Structure 1
Amino acid sequence: MWFVILLVYMLKASSAVEPSCQVCSKFDYERLLERVIRNELTLKDTLDKITKTNAKVEETLKRIETENAKLNLAMQGLEEKKRTIDDKIDALVDTGAKNMSEAVAEMKTAVQSLVKQTAQEWDVMKENSSVPHVMFHARQTTTGQRSYTTNQDVVFPTVLINDGGWYSPITGHFTASVAGVYMFMVQFCPYLHKWAYLEIVHAGRALQSSGHKGEDVIVCVSMQAFAKVAIGDEVWVRISATSEIYHDDTRSTSYAGLLISL
Structure 2
Amino acid sequence: MKMRFSLLFSFVIVVGLCSYKFSEAREPVCSKFAYEEQLLEKMIRTEIKVETMVNEIKKTEDKVISTLGDIKQTVADFTDMFADMKGNITNEMLNRGDEIKRREETFKTSFEETRKNLTSDIEAEKEKLFQLQGKLEQPAIAFYAHHLKDLLLDTTDEILIFEKTFTNEGTGYDTSTGLFTAPVGGLYQFDVHICTSYKKYAYLGLVLEGSVITAHAHFGDENSSCTSFGAIKRVRSGEKVWVKSTSSGSNRKLTQGSYSMNTFSGVLVSY
Q: 1:254 aligned to 2:263? A: yes
Alignment partners' CA distance in 2, 1:177 and 1:191: 35
Alignment partners' CA distance in 1, 2:151 and 2:188: 30
Alignment correspondent of 1:200? 206
Which segments of 5 or more consecutive residues in structure 1 lack a partner in the other structure? 1-117
State the shift of 1:146 in Å: 3.5
Alignment correspondent of 2:164? 158
Alignment correspondent of 2:195? 189
SS in 2 for 1:208: strand
SS in 2 for 1:128: helix
For the Cα contact (< 8 Å) 1:137–1:254, is it kept in 2? yes
Spell out, residue by residue over 1:120-153, the C-alpha distance to the aligned partner (whole angstroms, 9 max, x if none).
87554310344321000001157x9544421100
Alignment correspondent of 1:233? 239
Alignment partners' CA distance in 1, 2:153 and 2:230: 23
1:171 is aligned with what amino acid?
A: T
Spell out, residue by residue over 1:20-78, the C-alpha distance to the aligned partner (whole angstroms, 9 max, x if none).
xxxxxxxxxxxxxxxxxxxxxxxxxxxxxxxxxxxxxxxxxxxxxxxxxxxxxxxxxxx
State the shift of 1:212 in Å: 0.9
1:189 is aligned with what amino acid?
A: C
For the Cα contact (< 8 Å) 2:153–2:245, is it kept in 1? no
- 2:228 pairs, out of 212, 222, 233, with 222
Q: 1:136 aligned to 2:143? A: yes
Structure 2 matches for 1:75-154, cutoff 5 A? 122-130=128-136, 131-140=138-147, 146-154=152-160
SS in 2 for 1:245: coil
SS in 2 for 1:211: strand
- 2:175 pairs, out of 169, 172, 178, with 169
State the shift of 1:166 in Å: 1.1
Spell out, residue by residue over 1:170-211, the C-alpha distance to the aligned partner (whole angstroms, 9 max, x if none).
000000111011111000011111110110000000010000
SS in 2 for 1:186: strand
2:225 is aligned with what amino acid?
A: V
SS in 1 for 2:234: strand
Q: 1:121 and 1:192, CA in 2 relative to 1: closer, same or farther beyond 3 A?
A: same
Spell out, residue by residue over 1:207-228, the C-alpha distance to the aligned partner (whole angstroms, 9 max, x if none).
1000011011111000011111
For the Cα contact (< 8 Å) 1:203–1:234, is it kept in 2? yes
1:209 is aligned with what amino acid?
A: A
For the Cα contact (< 8 Å) 1:173–1:236, is it kept in 2? yes
Alignment partners' CA distance in 1, 2:151 and 2:243: 18
Q: 1:231 and 1:221, CA in 2 relative to 1: closer, same or farther beyond 3 A?
A: same
Alignment partners' CA distance in 2, 1:120 and 1:231: 27
Percent identity at matched positions? 28
Which segments of 5 or more consecutive residues in structure 2 lack a partner in the other structure? 1-123
Alignment partners' CA distance in 2, 1:199 and 1:141: 16
The count of residues paired between Structure 1 and Structure 2 equals 147
State the shift of 1:261 in Å: 1.5
> CA RMSD of the aligned region, Å?
2.6
Alignment correspondent of 2:121? none
SS in 2 for 1:210: strand
2:263 is aligned with what amino acid?
A: S
